[in-house]
Amino acid sequence: MQNLRRKDILGLEEMSAEEITLILETARSMREIMQRKIKKVPTLRGRSVLNLFYEPSTRTKASFELAQKYMSADSVSVAGTSSSLVKGETLKDTVRNIEVMGIECVIMRHPVSGSASYLARNLEANVINAGDGMHEHPTQGLLDMFTILDKKGRLEKLKVTIVGDIRHSRVARSNIWGLKKMGAEVAVSGPPTLMPPDMEDFEIKFEPCLDDAIEGADVVMALRLQKERQEGGLFPTLREYAELYGLNSRRVEKANEDALIMHPGPINRGVEISSELADGPRSVVLDQVTSGVAVRMAILYLLLGGTKEE
Amino acid sequence: MKTLFIKGGRLIDPSRNYDDRADLLIRDGLVEAAEKNLKPPDGAEIIEADDLVVMPGLIDMHVHLRDPGQEYKEDVLSGARAAAAGGFTAVAAMANTDPVADEPTTIRYVADKAAGAAARVYPIGALSKGLQGAELAELGRMQKVGAVAFSDDGKPVLNGTLMRNALQYAGGIGALVIVHEEDPTLVGKGVMHEGSISSVLGLRGIPAAAEEAMLARDLMLLKMVGGRLHIAHLSTAGAVELVRKARADGLPVTAEVTPQHLLLTDRAVKNSGYNTNTKVKPPLRSEQDRQALWEGLLDGTIDAIASDHAPHHSDDKDVEYDFAPFGIAGLETTLSLLLDEVAFGRIKKLTLPLLVEKMSTAPAKILGVKGGSLKPGSPADITIVDSGRSFTVNPDTWYSKSRNTPFAGRQLKGAPVYTILGGRIVMKEGVVADRE
């Protein structure tokens, strides 16, 4: 199997279609390992990994930790209130400490855009961005593409509509870059105040009318309305948002018959997506979670273990 | 003090439209003569300037010296040394110190500390008490002890009535008001120019309208109550247009631009991988804005070039992008960055005489201070430049205490080789000698 010829995974903007394809193909083999009775391979035995989470996370953190365990890596996780950010240690000093502990790969989630690139620049270890501010969340983009590919058999020429708070969403950014590189058509919809101020460089279509945006879509992806990131006044109320931009079964009728409904989680039920839709037959919300472990195993393998015998 | 004789250089003096070879005789700290074929008096120290350009000392009308309060970033003496190293004989120091320079004691502290320093330091007083934007500071009492202008730079004045009163009151005592135009309610938590790059990088943006809206307000207030207004660091095409129109209408307004806004765009934030040395206020704007700034500079809409020298310690800058303070340290790069533009002819119509006008004659006139001229009888504040000298920007060699520049590693052609302050050589070949 090939190797990823890069030290870090910071975002999908900088990644080629070939690299994305390699990761998605590798993830398929990894999923087989997950389906075994004894979910353990020695691939990363003796390799040390740090999960550094400056922001709360359930899915991403658990999924990275599981991926590490399945592959026999030695890993530690530092998170939330126990982290040194709370104690006022600078990222620079944290980096120096990581270095002398001999850690080979750092997975970081951080509230500031660009912090993953800061870490990568200052560290010899591999860095995997598990979400930096509003910038990128590349493993989420990859697991979403893996899920779509798995269900649809292709990414090329698929019409994907992403709905909601694109402006503050690192998930949306990674999906936009990744999907476009793989030949999908991406449109976004939602209130204009929740769109990035200038979308020229993304080269995507903004369709303010949700019904028009959904029409003929192969994939409809809702985003969490990140209340914690809202500067005041970007939309009036949650109930108005739900009424104007919430996904529900009636709205999704305009999409293609076999359209997939996706959401990166955690879900605000009844706000950006109705329970009926989220739990319904077209929803692949939980498949996304399963894909997450496989994709993260693939990335760890390709970054850390690809040159070794399995 | 020794008599100085600067021999055979190309002498540029915008105050009398002079650009030709001339010798310069300096005695007792003053220019005694500036003509061709002078004879050096016995015992005079002679500077051979055949291949050099001689100009009135450059004046940086916008710097932050961090003194008192943040001397670990810069102080009056280190800032003055950085100025001399960069070819400046004078700087005007902003009031956002700790304590704020909003009453005579702090103004006097800065002025006293600068006595005997490597450059003249003109204190600028705060416009409002504590830069709070609520009550007028003691402009008149500060003016009496040497404040050359008044500004809340760094903390834009949101309160329209305060700005109105400030302009009107300052007008009454003939004082200059300098404004940093950025509506804080539109800036929000923005850290870079709002546009396609900020959208891709996921960084909060500062829209051009934040600058333009407040600038438009202040120009209207100026029209209403008079006074004298100087706009610091213009950064957008719309702002240039507003100033152009105000001047056409005859309003008493002047403006400056920084080298970073003339030379860099928001793309630098992306290309540098979120390097916090690209984080500055106003933010590095779009290419279209950058072009408009050059146009404004060349057509006279923008009077002056200033560095907005904003030194920060690496402990403060070497952090995540959102957490870093705004600012670029520019005293030791500004002149060379512009000489380099002239040397390579990248900007048509940018000539050395125009540069000297923007960096010496115009700032002297706007601030109402001595300098900007080499007429006999003027103080012998002189900058001598070698337009052919190439070097690489290396902040580790700076006299400033700080190192924050996005220009590190850049190859430049053109450098100051002598800085002369009141007839005394304070910098020779890059080496600064503070005191006699």
What is the DSSP code string of A173-211?
A: HHHHHHHHHTT-EEEEES-GGGS-S--GGGT-EE-SSHH
Are A134 and B202 a contacting pair at CB < 8 A? yes
Which of B23, B102, B266, B308 is catalytic? The answer is B308
C-alpha count within 13 angstroms, C-beta hemisphere, residue A291: 23
Q: Are A99 and A43 in contact (CB under 8 A)?
A: no
Q: Is B252 part of any domain?
A: yes
Name B5's bridge partners: B25, B46
pLDDT at A283: 97
Read off the pLDDT of residues B122-163 as tens digits, 9 standing for 90 and up: 999 999 999 999 999 999 999 999 999 999 999 999 999 999
Q: Are residues B267 and B416 in the same domain?
A: no
Restricting to A residues 160-189, those with a Cβ less than 8 Å away from any Cβ of B are 170, 173
Closest by CA position to A264, among listed A300, A291, A297: A291
Residues of chain A under the 70 pLDDT cut: 1-2, 80-87, 228-231, 306-310
Dig out the tokens for B186 from the structure.
Answer: 């539109």
Q: Closest chain A residue to B196 measured between Cα atoms? A: A198
Read off the pLDDT of residues B224-251 as tens digits, 9 standing for 90 and up: 999 999 999 999 999 999 999 999 999 9
Q: Are residues B38 and B76 in the same domain?
A: no
Q: Are residues B88 and B50 in the same domain?
A: no
Name A63's bridge partners: none
Q: Is B174 part of any domain?
A: yes
**A206 contact B CB<8A:** no
Q: Are residues B361 and B420 in the same domain?
A: no
Q: Are A184 and A160 in contact (CB under 8 A)?
A: yes
Are A112 and B197 a contacting pair at CB < 8 A? no
Are B196 and A91 a contacting pair at CB < 8 A? no
Chain B partners within 8 Å of A201 (Cβ): 196-197, 199-200
Instruction: Please give the ipTM for the structure prediction.
Output: 0.93
Q: Are residues B11 and B145 in the same domain?
A: no
Q: Is B319 part of any domain?
A: yes
The number of domains in chain B is: 2
For chain A, the 3-state helix, strand and coil shares in percent, each to the nearest 5, are 45, 15, 40
Q: Are residues B8 and B78 in the same domain?
A: no
Q: How far is B276 from chain A (nearest CA, A)?
A: 10
d(CA B151, CA B102): 10
Q: How far is B277 from chain A (nearest CA, A)?
A: 13
Q: Set out the domains of chain A in order of their start, with CATH numbers.
A: 17-136+292-305 (3.40.50.1370), 138-288 (3.40.50.1370)
Are A113 and B201 a contacting pair at CB < 8 A? yes
Are B200 and A90 a contacting pair at CB < 8 A? no
At residue B54, does pLDDT exceed 60? yes
Segments forming the whole domain that contains residue B37: 4-54+378-404+412-432
Q: Are residues B187 and B254 in the same domain?
A: yes
Q: Is B273 part of any domain?
A: yes
Closest by CA position to A157, among listed A88, A217, A230: A217
d(CA B336, CA B333): 5
Q: Are residues B9 and B127 in the same domain?
A: no
Residue B46 belongs to domain with CATH number: 2.30.40.10
CA quadruple B407, B408, B410, B411: dihedral, nearest 10: 130
Count of pairs with CB atoms under 8 A, one residue in A, one in B: 73
pLDDT at A307: 52
Closest by CA position to B383, among listed B415, B354, B431, B412: B415
d(CA A33, CA A51): 22
Chain B partners within 8 Å of A170 (Cβ): 202
Q: Are A58 and A115 in contact (CB under 8 A)?
A: no
Q: Closest chain A residue to B189 measured between Cα atoms? A: A231
d(CA B118, CA B419): 9
Q: Is B372 part of any domain?
A: no
Q: Are B314 and B404 in contact (CB under 8 A)?
A: yes
Helix axes B104-114, B76-85, angle to 10 degrees: 50
Matching residue, tokens 């550094």: A52
pLDDT at A86: 61
Q: Are residues B308 and B395 in the same domain?
A: no
> Which of B186, B198, B200 best tests the A interface by mutation, with the highest count of A CBs <10 A?
B200
Residue B130 belongs to domain with CATH number: 3.20.20.140
Q: Closest chain B residue to A116 measured between Cα atoms? A: B320
Read off the pLDDT of residues B326-370 as tens digits, 9 standing for 90 and up: 999 999 999 999 999 999 999 999 999 999 999 999 999 999 999
Dig out the tokens for A52 from the structure.
Answer: 């550094």
pLDDT at B168: 98
Q: Is B290 part of any domain?
A: yes
**A279: amino acid identity, one letter:** D
Phi and psi based region of residue B203 (left: phi greater than 0; alpha: psi -120 to 50; beta: remaining): beta
Read off the pLDDT of residues B366-408 as tens digits, 9 standing for 90 and up: 999 999 999 999 999 999 999 999 999 999 999 999 999 999 9
Q: Is B164 part of any domain?
A: yes
Restricting to B residues 240-279, those with a Cβ less than 8 Å away from any Cβ of A are 273-274
Other Cβ atoms less than 10 A from the Cβ of A281: the count is 7
Helix axes B287-298, B237-248, angle to 10 degrees: 30
Q: Are B328 and B263 in contact (CB under 8 A)?
A: no
Closest by CA position to A31, among listed A299, A237, A309, A291: A291
Are B202 and A115 a contacting pair at CB < 8 A? no
Q: Are residues B42 and B102 in the same domain?
A: no
Matching residue, tokens 């070819």: B87
Are B199 and A196 a contacting pair at CB < 8 A? yes
Are A135 and B202 a contacting pair at CB < 8 A? yes
**Catalytic site includes residue B308:** yes
Q: Is B373 part of any domain?
A: no
Q: Are residues B130 and B167 in the same domain?
A: yes
Q: Are residues B38 and B130 in the same domain?
A: no
